[in-house]
Amino acid sequence: MVEIVCWVAAIFATMLGMASLSLTLPNHWRQVTGIETSLPSRSEQLSLRILGYSSLVVALLLCLAADHPSMAVLVWVMLLSLAAKGIATILTWRQHWLKPLVWLFNRTELN
């Protein structure tokens, strides 16, 4: 049971990580803000990157908590793929789901 909680949390953590990392790319930032000309500033990019990579590290720790290390690493790598595909799908059909992330770092763009 504990491991299932860890896996679910890890899935969310990798999704959050990939979402933050996707927003550091200007194309995807524009997709989410919906403003053609907007760009993430350097500081926004940096904080998104920090949040992104640290979420991925948290996900790894969660995987390690659930399984034998050799197994946990495999689960983590596969979850990264799954999350990347998941975020790509969200960016295609449900961009607005990622708005809270932009809002977290930038209050002016969306108003």
Chain residues binding other proteins by CB under 8 A are 7, 18, 22, 25, 27-28, 67-68, 70-71, 74-75, 77-82, 84-85, 87-89, 91-92
Name the E strands within the chain.
Answer: none
Residue 111 Cβ vs other proteins, minimum distance, rounded to whole Å:
26
Dihedral sign of CA atoms 104, 79, 24, 38 in order = negative
The residue (of 35 and 71) whose beta carbon lies closer to other proteins is 71
- DSSP output for 27-88: HHHHHHH--TT----HHHHHHHHHHHHHHHHHHHHHHHHHS-HHHHHHHHHHHHHHHHHHHH
Residue 54 Cβ vs other proteins, minimum distance, rounded to whole Å:
19
Residue 99 Cβ vs other proteins, minimum distance, rounded to whole Å:
16
The residue (of 25 and 50) whose beta carbon lies closer to other proteins is 25
The residue (of 50 and 78) whose beta carbon lies closer to other proteins is 78
**What is d(CA 107, CA 34) in angstroms, rounded to the nearest whole number?**
14
Residue 7 Cβ vs other proteins, minimum distance, rounded to whole Å:
6
